[in-house]
Chain A
Amino acid sequence: MIKVRREVCGYCGACVSVCPEGAIELIDAYLSVDNENCKLCKICVRVCPLGALEVSDEE
């Protein structure tokens, strides 16, 4: 699953615009990831200007 490191995230929404599944949403000052629809393409992990997204094994 995609994990948001909230302490790093600048809640800018760059990841939202490139997500092909529409699985990320920027809600005011936090990101919400819909891991059910996420296909783990990791484009969001690449694009983040701060490196706030990572793939995690935790459920």
Chain B
Amino acid sequence: MKSEYDVLIIGGGPGGALAAKTCAEKGLSVCIVEKRPAIGTPVRCAEGIGEDLIGEFFDKIDPKWISAKIKGAKLISPDGSSFYLNPEMAGNEVGYVLDRKFFDRDLVWQAVEAGAECYVKARAVDAILENGVVKGAVIEHFGILKDVRASIVIAADGVESKFAKYCGIDTTVPLRELETCAQYLMTDIDIEPGITAFYVGREICPEGYIWIFPKGDRTANVGIGISGTQSKDGSRAKDYLDKFVSRNFPEGKIIELIVGGVSVCEPLECTVADNLIIVGDAARLSDPITGGGIYNAMYTGRLAGQVAAESIRSGDCSKKALMKYETTWRSSKMGKALDRNYQIKEIFVKLSDKQLDSILTSVSNIVMKDFSTLTLIKEIIKLNPKLIKELSGLRKYFE
């Protein structure tokens, strides 16, 4: 590890990897530090991503990144009735359940091939600040502390992000807006191949949802997220999950436990500072409805790399120069979706099971032109004019 780089990236997930690859391709010296001993493990994700979203980054999808292809989704309402969301072009893939262990590793591999350096078991323990401005990070690498300076630091350190905090930015997620999650990778269970299933209801998963994401033949990620305020002794994410599993898959075998937190709050007030860019989960950019964050991390990671390269070339890495990153993602399709989905989430978490039942009955078996949460929400609003009253503030998002 050198003591100085153009760009230092904290975290080797998809956000950090895309940032590093982009910087390296633009000829910058760039280093990724990953605190864990391996890229991609332990997985902390349900691993689903839309086909169109991942397609934005690659000409070719490597088959080993994909555990299962998804052709549709099923919603199960609190009263147990279920509805299929079918893409207009039935039979076509609408998404994938990834194998993050391979996927994350390959993304970092691509960054390294482009010229980035990567160090594992290397953790940022503090920021180097001069007159309140970040100049790099103190990295603990196999127990040895080292000052690593950089023109720009990209914080891609995920939901448990600390680096922005070291720089004086408050990244604390409100308890009610942190979904506390538990997931089992299960085998020997009866699932519908190619169909992702989503269960909702206050009784089985308060202010969250339960998912079944196929990972292969009779194998799936079975998980739950509930709001932090709903979590207490005896009714934690794992307790709800165990109840669901014993009812639905009593014979299933659990071969992996995955736990984690997903923020469903608004993004950080500002995701840049002098010499600092914050991306992905660290910037609180996971989707407030679905909790999905892979695309958002990759998109902001790449964008951070582009803006970093421009700023370093022009010799100005001030907050003002880096604001281009902030304004670009906020006005992007992703930024607008985050804004809209946050408002929608705020309404949906307050719905009773009875209300959810009637909403889901109304949308039963719709055929979706465009397989997205936006299309689904539009349908829900169209079919539930009474809801519009509550949702009227959201109208502007759909016009």
Contact = CB atoms under 8 A, between A and B. Distances in A.
Interface in B69-116: none
A10 B123 CA distance: 19
Interface stretch (B1-9, B13-21, B230-238): B230-238
A49 B180 contact: yes
Contacts of B159: 13-14, 16-17
A18 B261 CA distance: 9
Interface in A28-52: 28, 43, 46-51
A51 B232 CA distance: 8
Contacts of A11: 42
Nearest to A31: B160
Contact of B237 (A17, A19, A43, A49): A49
Given A26-B160, A46-B228, A46-B231, A13 B260 contact: yes
Contacts of A13: 44, 158-160, 260-261
Contacts of A51: 233, 236, 238
Given A47-B178, A47-B261, A49-B180, A17 B161 contact: yes
Nearest to A41: B175
Contact of A50 (B158, B228, B236, B263): B236
Interface string B211-243: 000000000000000001101110011100000
A41 B276 CA distance: 30
A36 B267 CA distance: 29
B37 interface: yes
B173 interface: yes
Contacts of B344: none
Nearest to A19: B172
Interface of A: 10-20, 22, 25-28, 43, 46-51
